[in-house]
Amino acid sequence: MRLKAILSVCLLALSTVLYADELIQIRTDRIGLVLRAEKDGRLYQSYIGKRLNNDSDLQNLPKGTEAYLTHGMEDYLEPALEVRHNDANASLLLKYVSHTIQNIEPDVDETVITLRDDQYPVTVKLHYVTYAKENIIKTFSEISHEEKKPIKLERYASAMLHFSNSAYYLTEYSGDWIYEATMSSTPLNFGKKVLDSKLGTRANMFTPPMFIFLLDKEASENEGEVILGTLGWTGNFRFTFEVDNKKDLRVIAGINPYYSEYALPKGEVFRTPDFYFTYSDCGEGQASRNFHDWARKYQLKDGEKDRLTLLNNWESTYFDFDENKLVDLMGDAVKLGVDMFLLDDGWFGNKHPRHSDTQGLGDWEETHDKLPNGIQRLVDEAAKKNIKFGIWIEPEMVNPKSELYEKHKDWVIHLPNREEYYFRNQMVLDLSNPEVQDFVFGVVDGLMTKYPGIAYFKWDCNSPITNIYSPYLKDKQTHLYVDYVRGLYNVLERIKAKYPDLPMMLCSGGSGRIDYEALKYFTEFWASDDTDPVQRLFIQYGYSFFYPAKSMSAHVTTWNKDASIKFRTDVAMRGKLGFDIKLSDLSGDDLTYCQNAVKNYKRLRPAIMEGDLYRLVSPYSGPHAANQFVTKDKNKALVFAFDVYPAYGEKCLPVRLEGLDAEKQYRVEEINMMPGQSSSLEGNGMVYSGDYLMKVGLTLFTGNKLHSRIIEIQTE
Ligand code: DGJ
């Protein structure tokens, strides 16, 4: 024992002597983050921005600010890390020990920097994974210690970044159910701006974990320095932006420390969630394309695979359906030409049949009255009709009026000594409990085992964590928010391992729960219950900064009947197309139009799903909106143009296209029109050079209300 103590003192002494001036460049093809271990042993962030190409220049960089600041030392602002040691001391001084750089796969490197306190045996490893071609950096931290008893982690950021610029502008996202991803911008002046969530499960119902951050001056699609950042955590998060007395800014991203003190036992590693960011010196458009390319290649489930078009029954039936109605709707799916029929909420529960959202949640057996021949009949009917069958579940939740609640109150997050309150008449199961994890896994596994023909799940989550108390965690209640999310990931990991090819939609009463860690397990997300195409122009625009079109489910419904079926469908075709409509509500022409639109969508998938997105005109900028997809080989582009409520007599100027090959010749043709409609697009059918289209452009817009156009631009 004495020998061990002497040894560790010697080691500490040795590491003090070994502090060196080390430069660590973390870089992609275009981004550079330079960290520096100074002679005082501390790690500083010297630079962030456009990649520096000459290693010899790095020496000339200023020292910068301590990279991962801790509580209790000389800094007076918000720290990245705060721990309480066994002796109640809460100071931590991290010094550089070593770093490694490893190539994980082609074009992906990981740098790990080890820091340690020389008074307390606490180690922090900062990880930086660089995706060279996509210019994305992923960062997270690992915290561990060798103190006798658990140390208390009070805050534990995934990342801390420092900026020293003349001005800072933040574009943030806010919203609510049916108002998701509303964007607004604000300059950051002295003090703190915090974006956070405390909702537990439906964590980003009010604000999703993503931000756009502009340096020096306000950026635009193609100009200016911009950082896009997002946290991969399906729970409470917090972003802090703090401008100090010297006008420097720190950005701290991680799990929200609110009611989340975490007791970390000796020898265990606390790994924070991943924070991803990209930097662009040529505006927001490039930064978004970085995220899209990276997500398709590395993060989104089946990111490089195709997606299924579908017909969902939610809006056409709600809870009011039976087997025959569903079989009829499958016939509609066939008529439309989509790939799948998706059965939504309301198919389960017998003691408490799910005739509304007031009961039955948790009892995952088909309601006999509604489905006397079970799910199998539906799977068989779909197979007969040569379409796939998908099904809705909400496996983390329970209605108090259910058999599950009656049998397993101990599985429900609830306060033992208070009256329960409900969000959408339901409560949240305690996923910190491994038995509950088994149950939730069993919902998918049970259905898949019984009905292997199920080809798709829509996984919903309609309540935040309410009545916050875990019967399982007992005296570790402040672990609940963190352990819930970890429990969810355990379940999703098991599902992915057993059913690797099963596509799933992430839904949370709209998009109340979207992040890139969850999207490892989901092929797409439901962007909003608001399917009014005008609102969708904004919602889909907002998410497009981070998420590629193939991940964003967009369905044609009857919301906003002022908008034609064409307008509604054209909006949905900019995402992952689906329908949630009764064909009996459509006129003959409408149906013919939809059938043709589905065919077009399938034909145009390489541009919409795999292509580069250019946001030509923002819906926030006035009564029009337009965006463009260009295939990677630049042989095809698609322009989507929308006139919402233009002013009378408005002069419509040409809009310059982007991303084409200036040298190539392109034929311009308006497509996806109503039967019998002829195009009023100037230059329709003509051939132009890419140079012309990018310098002069096309008159995309009209003075018509709720008017839309899709234009196909194809090399000759
Ligand atoms: C909320 C979802 O966002 C809707 O699409 C639908 O699935 C309902 N839940 C069902 O309860």
Q: How far is the CA of 627 from the centre of ligand 1 (A)?
A: 28
Site to substitute for ligand 1 among 345, 355, 552, 555, most atoms within 8 A of C-beta: 345
Residue 19's pLDDT is 54
Average pLDDT over the chain reads 96
The response to whether residue 314 sits with its C-beta less than 6 Å from ligand 1 reads: yes
Which ligand 1 atom lies nearest to the CA of residue 357?
Answer: 11
Measured by CA distance, the residue closest to atom 2 of ligand 1 is 509
The DSSP string of 203-251 is TTSSS-SEEEEEESS---SSSBEEEEEEEE-SS-EEEEEEE-TTS-EEE
Cβ of residue 526 lying under 6 Å from some atom of ligand 1: yes
From the CA of 510, how far away is ligand 1's center (Å)? Answer: 7
| pLDDT of 541 | 98
Grouping H, G, I as helix, E, B as strand and the rest as coil, residue 168 is strand
Return the pLDDT at 218: 82
Element (H, E) at 710: strand 707-715
Atom of ligand 1 nearest to the CA of 510: 3
Give the ligand 1 atom nearest the CA of 528. 3
User: From atom 5 of ligand 1, which residue's Cα is the shortest distance away?
Assistant: 529
Tell me what the mean pLDDT of segment 517-528 comes to: 98
Q: Is the pLDDT of residue 611 over 90?
A: yes
Nearest to 462 by CA among 507, 421, 493, 501: 507
Q: What is the pLDDT of residues 242-273, one digit of tens each?
A: 999 999 999 999 999 999 999 999 999 999 99
Is the per-residue pLDDT at 370 higher than 70? yes
578 lines ligand 1 (CB under 6 A): no
**Whether residue 315 has its Cβ less than 6 Å from ligand 1:** no
533 in ligand 1 pocket by Cβ < 6 Å? no
CB atoms within 10 A of CB 53: 8
Dist CA 551 CA 295 (whole Å) = 9
In the chain, what percentage of residues exceed pLDDT 70? 97
- 700 has pLDDT over 90: yes
Q: For the residues 482-495, what does the mean pLDDT come to?
A: 98
Burial class (CB in 10 A: 0-12, 13-18, 19+), 440: buried
Task: State whether the beta carbon of 313 lies less than 6 angstroms from ligand 1.
Answer: no
Q: For residue 16, is pLDDT > 80?
A: no
Contact 507 CB / ligand 1 (< 6 Å): yes
Say whether pLDDT at 10 is over 70: no
Closest Cα to atom 1 of ligand 1: 509
pLDDT at residue 13 is higher than 80: no
Position 20 scores a pLDDT of 62
| Pocket flag, ligand 1, residue 462 (CB < 6 Å) | yes
How far is the C-alpha of 230 from the C-alpha of 665, rounded, in Å? Answer: 39
111-117 mean pLDDT: 98
Q: Each residue of 384-441: pLDDT tens digit?
A: 999 999 999 999 999 999 999 999 999 999 999 999 999 999 999 999 999 999 999 9
Residue 267 is encoded by which pair of tokens?
């020898």
Q: How many angstroms does the Cα of residue 439 sit away from the middle of ligand 1?
A: 22
For position 5, what pLDDT does the model report?
45
Please give the average per-residue pLDDT across 289-315, as a whole number: 98
